[in-house]
Chains A and B, each alone.
Chain A
Amino acid sequence: MNNIQIKLNGEWREVEISPGMRLLDLLRDELKLTGTKEGCGEGECGVCSVIMNGHLVNACLVMAFQAEKAEVLTIEGLKQSGEFDPIQQAFIDIGAVQCGFCTPGMIMAGKALLLQNPKPTREEIRRGISGNLCRCTGYEKIVEAIENASKR
């Protein structure tokens, strides 16, 4: 057991971690930030996507100790003063949500994309979320929602 400092959703925190703990376990099991999901445990499905130091990562592939001094943004940190992030709002308005299990990761992938490329083309959006699987929507409304958010 040892402690790490992590800036989580805008707030510096000191958290206890154990050997072998993944960032995903830290978020879910320890901090009960369960918006970040687990779907495959090997970086293929993207439902555990979070933004770490400005980059999209799979929290199942990052060890907790690697998050030392890192800035981590999860789905729970997107709402600002009670207002949905434009991507969240676009997902709601456009109906890009079905079963919802991929939704937090998908929104984080969209967020990471827009941070780096505020006006992406549809092709760039598709590439940006290509590491995130969705079994319900065929991605169509998700692409539309991210494009819509980029114009808000």
Chain B
Amino acid sequence: MSYKRIGKRELRRDGKVKAEGKALYPADIYLDDMVYGRTLRSTIPKGHFSLDFREALKIPGVLGILTAKDIPGKNEYGVLLKDHQVFCEHSVKQIGDPLGLVVAETEKIAKKAAGMVKVRYEEEEGVFDPREAMKNSAPAVHEDRDNTLFHFKLRKGNVEEAFRDAHVVVENTYHSESVDHAFLQTEAGVAYWEESDRLVIVASTQYPHFDRSEIANSLGLDEEKVRIINPAVGGSFGGREDLTLQIHLGIAVMKFNRPVKIVYDRKESFLAHCKRHPMIMEYKTAADRDGKFLGMKARIVGDTGAYASWAVNVLRKAGVHATGPYEIPNVWVDSYAVYTNNPFSGAMRGFGATQPAIAYEQQIDEVARKLGLDPFAIRRINGFKPGSITATDQLMRESVPVEECLKALENALKEMKTDKELRKEKGSEKNTGMKKTGKGIGLIFYGTGYGNGAPDVAKARAMIDEEGLAHLFCGASEVGQGAKTALTQIPAEILGLKPEEVGFHHEDTLTTLDAGTCAASRQTYSMGNAIKLATDALANRLVEEAGKILGIKDSSCLSIENYEIFHKENPNQRLSFKELAGRIPEEERTVERSFTAITTEMDPETGKGDPYWPYTFSACGVTVEVDTETGLVEILEGVLVQDAGKAVNPELIEGQMDGGFTMGQGYTLMEDLQVIRGEIKHTNFTRYLIPTALDTIELKKIIIEDPESTGPYGAKGVGEPVMIPVAPAILNAIFDAVGIRIKEIPVTPEKLLSVIEEGKHGGKREAEI
């Protein structure tokens, strides 16, 4: 099938406006008579508090200080469980919990007054290790809830028998750390009243329609009285799914009847939004003498900190993805989400599928080494193919290009420079000096969508206006991934237009329909499907009317292009969109359609079910150089292979691949929040290091196309899977270089040096058969 717009490297619609600095982010908005808010935040992880703001209120220019008692509606919010308070009432559960909001004439005054508020704490003993928090004796994080808030079970076959009969068994425990999204635009927003007593909140989000419902609930307003505008978003990666300042803004506007602005500084941004769940992953894997997996057992404990956010879904996703893209007949998985008094964890790129890959891909590498098998061979023996059955007993019916991904990766790695050439370039000798190189690969799968039977719906409206211009209305967020561009390639394909000719209206809850969240790599797939359904129906209506007017009964004779419908054989017979718009009532040239993703609820005791669809595959290979003197790991070369079903826009997918690889690199080697007794020690970019242009490589990127019949033109989502195979590839490459299995990320130089030192004394060095 050849397409005019799908699969093309269409330029980003928002490229120009962003390149000239004219894209409007919330902090760029200044309104007349505007006042500023500064949030008061807890400095202790657990305890009671009282506020004394008598001195702060005396400062000229302070309008007031809002606390829990000023909340007009319910003092609760949260994407899943309503366990957050808008402002804490008496007690706090984590450092950074919001206590109140100072509102003042200027940002400077607000900040000064906030510094003069006296907070008296009665600190209580918190719990900071999720394994401790799971014990009955542990202090409760939430009085009315168990610390273990979720337990997911996956049971298949008899795993103990598999271990008994196995030729090889490997066992290890892996730890992944809490990391930050570190989007460059910190949280910012403005809010104001508009006509008809509607409250407008302008703030970056991944899901404006859901925000609206939560904000309305806490403000005690009907949803129609709240309007969310989501202008340019300076990165999100999952960190803008929970609310931060939105309700605070609303309360301040309702109280003072003036426009209000809040902008977080970097430290506050680190304190305010969720983190990636740190996980402790105990794994045991069994294989026969040919390398065929017999069984896998995993126990995964995820620390969600003080609030659940998406913990249930994240740990469920971890459990479903715990066994990797492999056929394993006997499986036993337990995954737990646990409250502690650490900074809360929530969504971040990969959403629970990222962490287990660190474990299962190292387990497979360990098995391969014990059996003397090539890393590709063992993945071929066990990897999914069409017809495979997953650990949840789901049938992998189509678009399962594991072999294609492996083949592409294998070929690309062959083309890569040999160790010798690389060392010659770098001026270091082969494994004789202190610098050692090694290669490693990772292979992963990722299930798209909300999962486990949750209604996963995207709605779109397509229309032709009276001028004959095409418009698309949907609430999908453009967070930098290119939604504006990729999603308009679909109506452009159907209507024979250029993507930029389709008006794309997506930033405002007043004019758009609920798209579902911009997360779970679901927008191109789910929203794309809804857009395709709506635009197809609109095009059919136009063709039908044109056929009627032109007296052509067989609609297949008609073509649609460039604002016209015409007879293919006799192009003189034509009608413009504008002429047709004049003949079709507005309600008939405005078409709404929705798409619901395929997902079933899993059995709570066995995990059996079809939790996600479709699955996307990704493979990565790297060469690293480990400096055994300094502990530094440098990535010399890398290849990322990404299955996209059908690539709607290869340029945008490559952008995701570059960014995902780099984020994976930071996750594995650099990013370290240093959370100690609930306190993030690294709250700025001097200490929380993310990759710079000097750390990154020229990544080789390969897109694999194996169209998925339920996707728009065969497309699947790629935003998250691009990141997931990177960490295991790096960790396997480090093992290849120095023979040491890394069980904890990030692999900072200090950590690596200490395990190398232990290895010298025979401690953790892996035996190789």
Listed in ascending order, the chain A residues whose CB lies under 8 Å from chain B are 20, 28-29, 32-42, 44-45, 47, 74-76, 78-79, 84, 88-89, 91-93, 95, 97-104, 107, 122, 125-127, 129-143
User: What residues of chain B lie closer than 8 Å to A44, measured between beta carbons?
Assistant: 684-686
A129 to B23, CA, bound (A): 21
CB < 8 Å neighbour of A45 from B184, B233, B660, B691: B184
Digit string of B671-711 for contact with A (CB within 8 Å is 1, else 0)? 00000000000001110001111101011000000000000
Instruction: Determine which residue in A35, A133, A136 has the highest number of CB atoms from chain B within 10 A of its CB, and name it.
Output: A136
A93-B11, A101-B234, A133-B184 given as contacts; is B655 within 8 A of A84 (CB)? no
B183 and chain A: residue at smallest CB distance:
A135
Which residues 618-665 in B have Cβ within 8 Å of A in the complex? 651-652, 654-655, 658-663
User: What residues of chain A lie closer than 8 Å to B660, measured between beta carbons?
Assistant: 138
B657 to chain A, nearest CB (A): 8
User: What residues of chain A lie closer than 8 Å to B655, measured between beta carbons?
Assistant: 95, 98, 136-137, 141
Q: List 15 A-B contacts (CB under 8 A).
A: A29-B30, A37-B185, A40-B684, A92-B12, A95-B15, A95-B651, A100-B18, A101-B183, A101-B234, A130-B693, A136-B659, A138-B660, A139-B692, A139-B693, A139-B696
A126 and chain B: residue at smallest CB distance:
B693
Q: Is the CB of A92 within 8 A of B235?
A: no
A34-B21, A47-B184, A95-B12 given as contacts; is B693 within 8 A of A142 (CB)? yes
Q: Is B266 an interface residue (CB 8 A)?
A: yes
Q: Is the CB of A101 within 8 A of B235?
A: yes
Instruction: Determine which residue in B21, B182, B237, B663 has the highest number of CB atoms from chain A within 10 A of its CB, and name it.
Output: B21
User: What residues of chain A lie closer than 8 Å to B658, measured between beta carbons?
Assistant: 137-141
Instruction: Determine which residue in B24, B692, B694 has the highest number of CB atoms from chain A within 10 A of its CB, and name it.
Output: B692
Q: Is the CB of B696 within 8 A of A138?
A: yes
A99 and chain B: residue at smallest CB distance:
B480
A139 and chain B: residue at smallest CB distance:
B693
Which residues 4-46 in B have Cβ within 8 Å of A in the complex? 9, 11-12, 14-25, 27-28, 30
In the complex, how many residues of chain B place their beta carbon closer than 8 angstroms to a beta carbon of chain A? Answer: 59
Q: Is the CB of B482 within 8 A of A98?
A: yes
Q: Is the CB of A75 within 8 A of B21?
A: yes
Q: Is B265 an interface residue (CB 8 A)?
A: yes
A45-B184, A138-B659, A138-B662 given as contacts; is B237 within 8 A of A79 (CB)? no
B664 to chain A, nearest CB (A): 10
B231 to chain A, nearest CB (A): 11
A36 to B22, CA, bound (A): 10
Q: Is the CB of A101 within 8 A of B11?
A: no
Q: Is B186 an interface residue (CB 8 A)?
A: yes
User: What residues of chain A lie closer than 8 Å to B22, measured between beta carbons?
Assistant: 35
Digit string of B98-135 for contact with A (CB within 8 Å is 1, else 0)? 00000000001000000000000000000000000000
Which residues 445-504 in B have Cβ within 8 Å of A in the complex? 479-482
A104 and chain B: residue at smallest CB distance:
B21
A103 and chain B: residue at smallest CB distance:
B18
Q: Is the CB of A100 within 8 A of B694?
A: no
A135 to chain B, nearest CB (A): 5
A140-B696, A140-B699 given as contacts; is B184 within 8 A of A101 (CB)? yes
A100 to B694, CA, bound (A): 20
A99 to B15, CA, bound (A): 9
Q: Is the CB of A41 within 8 A of B234?
A: no
B339 to chain A, nearest CB (A): 29
Q: Is B62 an interface residue (CB 8 A)?
A: no
A134 to B660, CA, bound (A): 12
Q: Is B513 an interface residue (CB 8 A)?
A: no
Q: Is B190 an interface residue (CB 8 A)?
A: no
A131 to B685, CA, bound (A): 11
Q: Is the CB of A135 within 8 A of B184?
A: yes
Q: Is the CB of B481 within 8 A of A98?
A: yes
User: What residues of chain A lie closer than 8 Å to B228, measured between beta carbons?
Assistant: none
A105 to B18, CA, bound (A): 11
Q: Is the CB of B183 within 8 A of A41?
A: no
Q: Is the CB of B16 within 8 A of A92?
A: yes
B31 to chain A, nearest CB (A): 12
Instruction: Determine which residue in A84, A127, A131, A137 has the highest number of CB atoms from chain B within 10 A of its CB, and name it.
Output: A137
Q: Is the CB of A76 within 8 A of B186?
A: no
Which residues 52-83 in B have Cβ within 8 Å of A in the complex? none
CB < 8 Å neighbour of A102 from B9, B30, B184, B479: B184
Q: Is the CB of A137 within 8 A of B659?
A: yes
Q: Is B400 an interface residue (CB 8 A)?
A: no
Instruction: Determine which residue in B186, B691, B693 has the highest number of CB atoms from chain A within 10 A of its CB, and name it.
Output: B693
A39 to B12, CA, bound (A): 24
Q: Is the CB of B18 within 8 A of A97?
A: yes
Q: Is the CB of A98 within 8 A of B11?
A: no
User: What residues of chain B lie closer than 8 Å to A138, measured between beta carbons?
Assistant: 658-663, 691, 696, 699
B523 to chain A, nearest CB (A): 14
A40-B685, A126-B693, A143-B693 given as contacts; is B20 within 8 A of A101 (CB)? no
Q: Is B755 an interface residue (CB 8 A)?
A: no
Q: Is B232 an interface residue (CB 8 A)?
A: yes
Q: Is the CB of B20 within 8 A of A78?
A: yes
User: What residues of chain A lie closer than 8 Å to B185, measured between beta carbons?
Assistant: 37, 39, 99, 101
A44 to B687, CA, bound (A): 10
A75 and chain B: residue at smallest CB distance:
B21
A125 to B321, CA, bound (A): 40
User: What residues of chain A lie closer than 8 Å to B699, measured between beta carbons?
Assistant: 138, 140
User: What residues of chain A lie closer than 8 Å to B694, measured between beta carbons?
Assistant: 126-127, 130
**Lowest 5 CB-CB distances: which A-B pairs, in order?**
A35-B21, A99-B480, A100-B18, A101-B234, A138-B658
User: What residues of chain B lie closer than 8 Å to A93, measured between beta carbons?
Assistant: 11
CB < 8 Å neighbour of A135 from B12, B30, B182, B684: B182
User: What residues of chain B lie closer than 8 Å to A140, measured between beta carbons?
Assistant: 658, 696, 698-699
Digit string of B178-199 for contact with A (CB within 8 Å is 1, else 0)? 0001111110000000000000
CB < 8 Å neighbour of A42 from B480, B652, B684: B684
A74 and chain B: residue at smallest CB distance:
B21
A139 to B23, CA, bound (A): 20
CB < 8 Å neighbour of A136 from B15, B235, B263: B235
User: What residues of chain B lie closer than 8 Å to A137, measured between beta carbons?
Assistant: 655, 658-659, 662
Q: Is the CB of B20 within 8 A of A100?
A: no
User: What residues of chain A lie closer than 8 Å to B23, measured between beta carbons?
Assistant: 100
Q: Is the CB of B686 within 8 A of A135?
A: no
User: What residues of chain B lie closer than 8 Å to A127, measured between beta carbons?
Assistant: 693-694
Q: Is the CB of B21 within 8 A of A99?
A: no
A14 to chain B, nearest CB (A): 21
A30 to B685, CA, bound (A): 27
Q: Is the CB of B19 within 8 A of A103?
A: yes
- Apart from A41-B265, A44-B685, A143-B693: 9 A-B pairs, beta carbons within 8 A: A91-B15, A95-B652, A95-B654, A134-B693, A135-B690, A138-B699, A139-B693, A141-B658, A142-B693
Instruction: Determine which residue in B18, B22, B661 has the highest number of CB atoms from chain A within 10 A of its CB, and name it.
Output: B18
Q: Is the CB of B21 within 8 A of A135?
A: no
User: What residues of chain B lie closer than 8 Å to A104, measured between beta carbons?
Assistant: 19, 21
A107 and chain B: residue at smallest CB distance:
B19
A85 to B18, CA, bound (A): 13
A140 to B699, CA, bound (A): 8
A99 to B482, CA, bound (A): 8
A17 to chain B, nearest CB (A): 14
Q: Is the CB of A42 within 8 A of B15?
A: no
A25 to B278, CA, bound (A): 38
User: What residues of chain A lie closer than 8 Å to B663, measured between beta carbons?
Assistant: 135, 138
User: What residues of chain B lie closer than 8 Å to A92, measured between beta carbons?
Assistant: 11-12, 15-16, 19
A45-B685, A95-B655 given as contacts; is B186 within 8 A of A100 (CB)? no
Which residues 145-180 in B have Cβ within 8 Å of A in the complex? none
User: What residues of chain B lie closer than 8 Å to A74, measured between beta carbons?
Assistant: 21
Instruction: Determine which residue in B11, B16, B184, B690 has the highest number of CB atoms from chain A within 10 A of its CB, and name it.
Output: B184
